[in-house]
Structure 1
Amino acid sequence: MAIASVRAQAEKTRPPRALWTSAILGRPVGEPEDPGFQLRVVRAALGLLERTDGPVILEDFPDDPPGWVDNPGWVAPGTNASDGFAAELAAMLPLWQVAQARFGRTSVGLSFQVPEMWPGFAAAVLDGGLPVVAELGTTALSVRFLCDDIKALYGEAAQAVGPAPSAGQVDGWFWRRTAAGALLRRLRLVAMESGNHALKTVGGRFFVPGPRVDA
């Protein structure tokens, strides 16, 4: 039995039983600190094991996570994609620091690079280079985790002050209105055209979610 975040993938792989949820990638049973919703998803998934009409069974969980409901009071951080990634990132850093103080944690750090190093590393990849972070050992992992750190920092900065945004609001803001979102799409294209097979593989799978490739 699988809990699927991408319905098309479940349709293609055809596991014996699958429950699709509209939760954001990485949160298949719902959002942090919402045990009630998480329990409902898990119970619905386990309920598929009692069915005898499969395989294949593919069911849709009926409800969106509460965090998908837009918060009208949230104000997106001011961004201007034409300023370029380096300038935009510099403007995001103070908000990110406020978010760390507010929540007492950060998920940034997978890339083993401080944010000030990110623009130069990304530029080297866009220029056709294969830079490597020593702790990660390969260009593929170095760029993958750079992309993860960029998304994490912007997501945290978006929640630094004021009411909490929905996951959809953060997602739409990042991919439609920021230089960072545009950068990740460019990195994906470069990776897909690379002769480095590992970089091509991770670029196609991990840099940009499928629905945002053409956002």
Structure 2
Amino acid sequence: MSVFGKDELAMRKFASSMPVPEFEETHFVSTKPLSQAKVAIVTTAGLHRQSAPGFEIGDSDFHYETLARDSRDLKLGHHSVNFDRGGFAADLNVVYPIDRLEELAVEGVIGAVAENHYAFAGNQSATVSEIRLDSGPHCAKKMLAENVDIVVITGTCPLCPRTVCTLAHVFEAAGLATIVITRAREVAERMKVPRALHTVFPPGLSLGKPRDKVFQIEVLKAAFKLLEATQGPVIQEFPISISASDGEPLVCSLPPQMNPNLHPAVDEAEALKSAYYRAFKSTKRTSVGMQIGVDEIPQALEKFAKIAEGEHWTEVGFSNESIAETMYGTVHDIRSYYEELACELADGPIGPWKTEQWFYDDTKAGQIILQARRAMRDSEADSSLWFGLATAGRE
């Protein structure tokens, strides 16, 4: 079975069958010349400041976070495992191209960068009704009050296309010109989104290539070119595609076992702390903390090791209240810890899905989580407990 987020055919089939809300009319706002316009970013990556509580697990959190123009201490609060999280770990601009907008403003390509930008969670219910009727219009009013003219909308997970297209309709109806950057042409067409740049990039890589300023600028310029259309809906193809198989495997050395009295995964996590802290010092951001902190990661891996060895998951120390969410959030934090430090240790570029592949295939931590996941599945545990501990399609 292929890994869902890496299977282009499966992703397109999913997008084609995804339920989407209907809009009676496609509003299409004309705006001032780009060189005079103020531009904001709205992302459905669930970004939030390090000090903010973030987004709840599930599809019922429809609030949005305000991201000040100068904020870079951002967490990736989107909970889905089915997109490439390593791109954001390496370069937040691949999801939230704030630095690229700043550069375009200096060049005079755009008039100004908005003082505030906004983040929603992309994993919404099928109707996206709360965003359509509540938080979306509220966010639009804030941007209008800040004299925003154009909104660039990005997503991450397989459900995000529905949410970003909904936001585009809401914002255009309020009087804002929008451009959606989406990998799901099928959703953009069915929802008759006003303007969309269709990109064939792996989910999670809205701007295509982390740490590649030139490529990211090309994506944004292609998106802005849609503003030249006098009527919509309009969808254009970005001419360069990126496959999940592109690039070389991550070259990232792992330490030898130092303490034979510890489980190898626990020892590994302890040994990698210095690399994690170097990465944090470099980027000033981390997505660790949804469920546990950095110092709790070795103990969490010990719990998964016990499950892999046959102990019942309710008896290894996880809170039995909302245990599925607890384990899901814990794996999110372990994976974020490893993927962030991998971006610090890696030799060469960070290719699509390569940190996910390295984590589950090469690290002791990833392997013990997969073993625990299989043990729970084979014990006929409810799928809500084990399915989200790895990308869909992994065994």
TM-score w.r.t. length of structure 2: 0.40
Deviation at 1:145, TM superposition (A): 1.3
Report the counterpart of residue 30 of structure 1 in structure 2: 208
1:78 matched to 2:254: yes
Please list the CA deviations of residues 109-151 of structure 1 after superposition, one character each: whole Å capped at 9, or x if unmatched.
Answer: 11225223222332344322224348xx411111111211111
Please show how residues 48-127 of structure 1 align to structure 2 within 5 Å: 49-50=233-234, 62-64=240-242, 69-70=247-248, 75-79=251-255, 84-113=264-293, 114-126=296-308, 127=311
- 2:276 and 2:337 in contact (8 A); partners too: yes
Paired letter, 1:192: R
| Alpha-carbon distance in structure 1 between the residues aligned to 2:300 and 2:361 | 20
- 1:31 and 1:38 in contact (8 A); partners too: no
1:11 matched to 2:13: yes
Decide which moves more: 95-104 or 157-166: 157-166
- Aligned counterpart in structure 2 of residue 160 of structure 1, from 335, 340, 344: 344
Structure 1: give runs of 5+ residues left out of the alignment. Answer: 52-58
- Aligned counterpart in structure 1 of residue 363 of structure 2, from 165, 173, 178: 178
Q: 1:31 to 1:75 in 2, by over 3 A?
A: closer
Deviation at 1:85, TM superposition (A): 0.6
Please list the CA deviations of residues 40-87 of structure 1 after superposition, one character each: whole Å capped at 9, or x if unmatched.
Answer: 786799x99547xxxxxxx9974228xx5459xx85132459972111
Deviation at 1:184, TM superposition (A): 2.2
Q: Provide the alpha-carbon RMSD of the alignment.
A: 4.0
| Alpha-carbon distance in structure 2 between the residues aligned to 1:142 and 1:13 | 29
Aligned residues: 193
Deviation at 1:179, TM superposition (A): 0.9
- Indicate the SS of the match to 1:160: helix
Q: 1:88 to 1:195 in 2, by over 3 A?
A: same
- 2:278 and 2:344 in contact (8 A); partners too: yes
Residue identity over aligned pairs, in percent, reads: 16
Q: 1:177 to 1:112 in 2, by over 3 A?
A: closer
| Alpha-carbon distance in structure 2 between the residues aligned to 1:151 and 1:186 | 15
- 1:30 and 1:37 in contact (8 A); partners too: no
Deviation at 1:209, TM superposition (A): 2.0
Q: 1:207 to 1:129 in 2, by over 3 A?
A: closer
1:39 matched to 2:220: yes
Structure 2: give runs of 5+ residues left out of the alignment. Answer: 18-184, 188-197
1:203 matched to 2:376: no
| Alpha-carbon distance in structure 2 between the residues aligned to 1:13 and 1:79 | 41
- Indicate the SS of the match to 1:182: helix
Deviation at 1:185, TM superposition (A): 1.3
- 1:21 and 1:29 in contact (8 A); partners too: no
- Indicate the SS of the match to 1:167: coil
Deviation at 1:191, TM superposition (A): 3.2
Please show how residues 111-150 of structure 1 align to structure 2 within 5 Å: 111-113=291-293, 114-126=296-308, 127-130=311-314, 131-133=317-319, 137-150=321-334
TM-score w.r.t. length of structure 1: 0.67
Q: 1:176 to 1:5 in 2, by over 3 A?
A: closer
Deviation at 1:31, TM superposition (A): 5.3
Q: 1:69 to 1:186 in 2, by over 3 A?
A: same
- Indicate the SS of the match to 1:109: coil
| Alpha-carbon distance in structure 1 between the residues aligned to 2:225 and 2:367 | 37
Q: 1:120 to 1:180 in 2, by over 3 A?
A: closer
- 2:275 and 2:344 in contact (8 A); partners too: yes
